[in-house]
Structure 1
């Protein structure tokens, strides 16, 4: 039986350690293609045995998480919301802290302090204790173990002091309550920040939640876009979101495709043109036939690719994950060592030794290391998507760093793919008007891109066309025709070597009428792109299957020094390999012949209007055909990697400095809890800067 992809929505994950515990569980079960994202609360894996699914769900819930049905997601109960837990705990913690400021005798009463602390400790046990126990049971202790051990130690120590009437020096109820309350506050900020990091995907998903006007027997019914099936006729009015991918049956419209391409200028659409679900019809009214619906739609595929990309780990994350996985046991050992050394080697006494150990536990933060990479990747991918750049994997971002070469295909990449006539050279005895008349009469019968371009260019210049009786297209050669007077014409590929710059010839009755030079035009922003790459120290290279002279013309016009013309797909592979040995290499192309090279390069970049094979082979898709998207992609990738490194540096530096400081007794456990609570927020906040940060530096 073929393996099927299973997708589950799992709530309760609040950091990368949580995701790692589920990931390890599923790998132990022998499942494949496991992807776990704590931010989007999604778990994916492949299995050929669907019968094990109930047990898998039970095992995940056994870790302390909850598997929910996406279609029937119930709102989080009031008492389970982390914001409400924080408010509840803060109400009891505040009076406990007041006794340190005001000399109110009843607040110093051990029983009063116990009564105030007990509700907070109960919430802490349910919130942190359950997660801590589940993580220990699974063999991947998380940060909640440290929080629970630290707060429980303070509570038990204080409880013993109360029962034994040992006096105020043994009462640390405020420490226990404050640790729990401050960490919950950190969780509140963390939750809100993480929600912002995944906003790009959520924004795209909103475009799917629209209604559609389905036309049946002349009447219109309003249905959900999810109910549309392929082949339905839909009415889209001015101001509406296009509900699904389709083809225009009637009407004209201006459609804003910014959410797909990043291009804010509306695109004119008419009969037979394709429209994309989620785009906005700014002007006009159209009827469309639904062609791609559900998971096959462009928007669904983009969302799916973005989710997979956010879950794909760059190599730089492996260090953070590795340290985070052994971090908790190491910190517990340091805390025990701190207690033992302080108690046995100094005269600090039991309470100070214990406070030092608790400070070590609550100030350490493995979550910061776990959050450092995924939050930056999510924001970076989201910003790229809003600029019309779809990056298929978080690992691609790191692969772009230190790029040395960018290899370009010519046609459709650096050039528009729309052909124009550069020159027509009439032979003796034939006029330009005659030649134009024959070209237009013959080529308007062809659907070839060159033919359509030539007709569009010459139509207005032609006074009189030849009247043709028959026209026949010979694949790979050209067009043959016969006019009403019995003259035979041939318009096709130039074969003579002296005609290298003139790639088409026109014959009448086997006598050459003219030589024609046709070529596609260079994209207006191509020269700016090449100049920017050179400025950044990246060497541009032209790799094309086209003729040497035409490649040389384009390369000279753009300032590209390294040119490889007349390349077959196998040849392009060899060229990519050659450059990869010299340095990091990006390949940008759009045709079927580019697919192997796109796969072979360190990073393959495909244009949106490329062949499907090229899009599947590439790691990056430019949804906007504007070539400046290439520069934007490099800039966003560079700054995303820089943000990851900044986050990891902070996470490691914070723990390396904070733990020894706490162990030496320079930090109160409450201050430690506050520092730990906000270390995650600092990491996420730095990642969120990517949303607005200037990247063109």
Structure 2
């Protein structure tokens, strides 16, 4: 089947680097996934196509990576296979709009609501007026009616499906008390059969299509298993209508088809709630960005849509307004509230040269901002994409669950077949009349009890919930190791500058020996102007504050962790730590002064010109106010804390003593930090905390790399965890989330296998009525769902209320 012209125009995939030069790799975003067996279905369907080498599908990320031979396979045909199976495709380069996700959630909720109403009517029609049914089912019907009425009262303007659902629920209650009076008993099988046909072939037709497409490709998945149960119920009911055997449970067979389908719609809706609600808290950040900006064009100020703003434009931000773009302040002074962006509760002072984040709230001053990033490169868009990517996390336990699910569905189908054959063949071999009804009920109960969604959603739901919980607190969990590994860490290595300290050093003293203080500071600023180090920035800032214009530099060479060499006119200038300078310049006369400044907790920068010392610059950086409490909490949690810095020993020891850290490694170059991490790893798992730029090698070497955010300079590619709020106490919070998420995942997986492991063998005995088997599996999925949302039930109730509300697309 060829793609339509309109479909071809859509960007359905992005190209990725392949593992071999003669191969190509594409990434596609898929809609309609709701449990791990969906990923197996896609991997098998694409993996069997000619020319395809590898397929990897992430349920929580809703994306597929396909590596293929471009000479033998066409990506358009590969993706059309996904459409044929019943899945949808979205542009992988863009975040899926909030409104689209909300619309899917509302649609699935309405489907489920109608299916629940059908089930209530079916149960009412088949309920026995005496015994256990007469007490349990009316109670269930009353509770269902209360829930439906509550939904109507809270969500005015309900769609017709929900209104019809309430009507059917009321009808179910009426049928329980007046069925015999209405004379419906003879027509009960026909009424329940009609409900089953409408539900299976109408409301839940998409499941039937996906099962058919899977069978066409020789794939056994949850859709096939569901339809096997539903069709078994339909066939059982149809046989009863044809032969009219006395005592034959015709209506209950049809009711099983109704309730099995309802259960599947229920599991689809539950998984969709967690997947959407867990990331929408951060995706709503995109709503913080204003729709228009005041841009200076052609000597005047005009209002333009955000889409019309380009990098380099000058934007005016008035008091109390939201900053519309990411940029650098080139005029004005104000305090900016970034709490809704980074979680930092205290407004931050912003002046000329400082960066601002789109979506933050300007204070009482007016700012003139030069735009540095727009569109998909803006901070909000990048963070929202990171939250999307965080849904792709796949710890080792999830890989194990995926391997089990590959054989799970065939095993359940085989067990159901053996249960039917066993209940027919064994009595026949023993000379006893086979109990056909028990045999069929045993097979049906196995199909229902063995439905794999409880297993398939157990691990992904906990991961998605954990990623969303972390994002709400300004923490981005970027890899599976962030969940599985951080909880196992027993050593945490902390960089000093920008991590334990504020990262905003200030010049506090100048010691000039071979030049005036003005000349010394000007030469140092000129040499440091090309460096991105915080100390260099502090020196340049101090020079401009004193009105000093640095001389021009014709050449500059940086020595990471040491300093730099610059060419100013005909002279060569060295700027850096005293050890580096002393390799080429005699600093003996300044040794006592260097020692005194370092003993006072200052960082010393030496300056020399043509192998002659010009003097010293002393800088100081204050310790973060929350650092002492955070490091104490880490030690209390059983972690060994280590300070690693390229700064001098005296200053490092002073900071460590203030924070209660006993192990200190000072004077360590950036390249040596990774070697030091390797040494620590001999004693256990190590987390490295740094600024994400200079510490990138160490962050990548550590078992878990943690980068402190710092706004628009967040190095989102170098670490497993990004702390957007730039607060050290988030390290403790991230570890708690790691523990909690993994514990939830273990609980969910254990609950799922416990239900299925006990339920399937029990169902094979024929002692479990299929309706009760369905109820047991509904309980298992609901238990897993509520365990995943434990502590934040509002996500569930918000999803319920959204069923009746129209969702409008933003212009």
TM-score band w.r.t. shorter chain: 0.7 to 0.9
1: CA distance, partners of 2:321 / 2:711: 28
Name the SS for the 1:107 alignment partner. coil
2: CA distance, partners of 1:398 / 1:383: 16
Residue matched to 1:413: 499
Match of 2:403 among 322, 345, 364: 322
Shift of 1:397: 1.3
Residue matched to 2:36: 16
Matches within 5 A, 1:676-691: 676-689=777-790, 691=792
Matches within 5 A, 1:400-479: 400-419=486-505, 439=517, 443=521, 447=525
Q: TM-score, normalised by structure 2?
A: 0.72
Matches within 5 A, 1:328-343: 328-343=409-424
2: CA distance, partners of 1:664 / 1:357: 9
2: CA distance, partners of 1:445 / 1:423: 16
2: CA distance, partners of 1:660 / 1:120: 29
Match of 1:628 among 716, 729, 732: 729
Q: Which moved more, 1:215-224 or 1:596-605?
A: 215-224
Q: Residues 315, 189 of structure 1: CA spacing in aligned structure 2 closer, same or farther, 3 A cutoff? A: closer
Matches within 5 A, 1:484-503: 493=578, 495-496=587-588, 497-498=591-592, 499-502=594-597, 503=604
Q: Are residues 1:562 and 2:663 paired? A: yes
Residue matched to 2:209: 130
Q: Are residues 1:350 and 2:436 paired? A: yes
Q: Which moved more, 1:134-143 or 1:217-226?
A: 217-226
Residue matched to 1:98: 124
1: CA distance, partners of 2:463 / 2:657: 38
Residue matched to 1:152: 231
Name the SS for the 2:184 alignment partner. helix
Q: Residues 592, 87 of structure 1: CA spacing in aligned structure 2 closer, same or farther, 3 A cutoff? A: closer
Q: Which moved more, 1:673-682 or 1:619-628?
A: 673-682
Shift of 1:339: 1.8
Shift of 1:176: 2.2
Q: Are residues 1:363 and 2:455 paired? A: no
Q: Residues 365, 239 of structure 1: CA spacing in aligned structure 2 closer, same or farther, 3 A cutoff? A: farther
2: CA distance, partners of 1:48 / 1:579: 43
Name the SS for the 1:537 alignment partner. coil
Q: TM-score, normalised by structure 1?
A: 0.83
Q: Residues 413, 220 of structure 1: CA spacing in aligned structure 2 closer, same or farther, 3 A cutoff? A: same
Q: Residues 667, 613 of structure 1: CA spacing in aligned structure 2 closer, same or farther, 3 A cutoff? A: same
Residue matched to 2:107: 81
1: CA distance, partners of 2:299 / 2:508: 51
2: CA distance, partners of 1:513 / 1:9: 60
Deviations 1:106-154 (A, max 9, x none): 3333444434443233237723322222333445422222221112112
Residue matched to 1:62: 84
Q: Residues 98, 390 of structure 1: CA spacing in aligned structure 2 closer, same or farther, 3 A cutoff? A: closer
1: CA distance, partners of 2:663 / 2:783: 45
1: CA distance, partners of 2:503 / 2:630: 18
Deviations 1:25-54 (A, max 9, x none): 445556699664545655565779599332
Q: Residues 683, 211 of structure 1: CA spacing in aligned structure 2 closer, same or farther, 3 A cutoff? A: farther
Q: Residues 259, 16 of structure 1: CA spacing in aligned structure 2 closer, same or farther, 3 A cutoff? A: farther
Name the SS for the 2:358 alignment partner. coil
1: CA distance, partners of 2:103 / 2:506: 65
Match of 1:107 among 175, 185, 194: 185
Match of 1:396 among 482, 495, 508: 482
Q: Residues 252, 411 of structure 1: CA spacing in aligned structure 2 closer, same or farther, 3 A cutoff? A: closer
Q: Residues 402, 132 of structure 1: CA spacing in aligned structure 2 closer, same or farther, 3 A cutoff? A: same
Q: Residues 118, 520 of structure 1: CA spacing in aligned structure 2 closer, same or farther, 3 A cutoff? A: closer
Shift of 1:361: 0.9
Q: Which moved more, 1:86-95 or 1:357-366?
A: 86-95
Name the SS for the 2:790 alignment partner. helix
Match of 1:647 among 748, 771, 774: 748
Residue pair 2:271, 2:461 contacting (<8 A) in 1 also: no
The alignment yields a C-alpha RMSD, in angstroms, of: 4.3
Match of 1:254 among 330, 335, 339: 335
Q: Residues 692, 547 of structure 1: CA spacing in aligned structure 2 closer, same or farther, 3 A cutoff? A: farther
2: CA distance, partners of 1:40 / 1:202: 15
Shift of 1:400: 0.9
Match of 1:281 among 362, 368, 392: 362
2: CA distance, partners of 1:459 / 1:234: 24
Q: Residues 249, 131 of structure 1: CA spacing in aligned structure 2 closer, same or farther, 3 A cutoff? A: same
Name the SS for the 2:727 alignment partner. coil
Residue pair 1:380, 1:690 contacting (<8 A) in 2 also: no
Shift of 1:2: 7.9
Q: Residues 561, 120 of structure 1: CA spacing in aligned structure 2 closer, same or farther, 3 A cutoff? A: same
Residue matched to 1:376: 462
Matches within 5 A, 1:235-250: 235-250=316-331
Residue pair 2:279, 2:388 contacting (<8 A) in 1 also: no
2: CA distance, partners of 1:62 / 1:296: 34
Q: Are residues 1:312 and 2:393 paired? A: yes
1: CA distance, partners of 2:76 / 2:261: 34
Name the SS for the 1:325 alignment partner. helix
Residue pair 1:161, 1:167 contacting (<8 A) in 2 also: no
2: CA distance, partners of 1:611 / 1:122: 52
2: CA distance, partners of 1:477 / 1:44: 44
Residue matched to 2:284: 203
Shift of 1:388: 2.0
Residue pair 2:60, 2:391 contacting (<8 A) in 1 also: no
Q: Which moved more, 1:236-245 or 1:168-177?
A: 236-245
Match of 2:377 among 274, 291, 296: 296
Shift of 1:522: 2.6
1: CA distance, partners of 2:413 / 2:348: 61
2: CA distance, partners of 1:116 / 1:255: 59
Residue matched to 1:485: none
2: CA distance, partners of 1:248 / 1:470: 22
1: CA distance, partners of 2:248 / 2:399: 45
Match of 2:200 among 107, 110, 121: 121
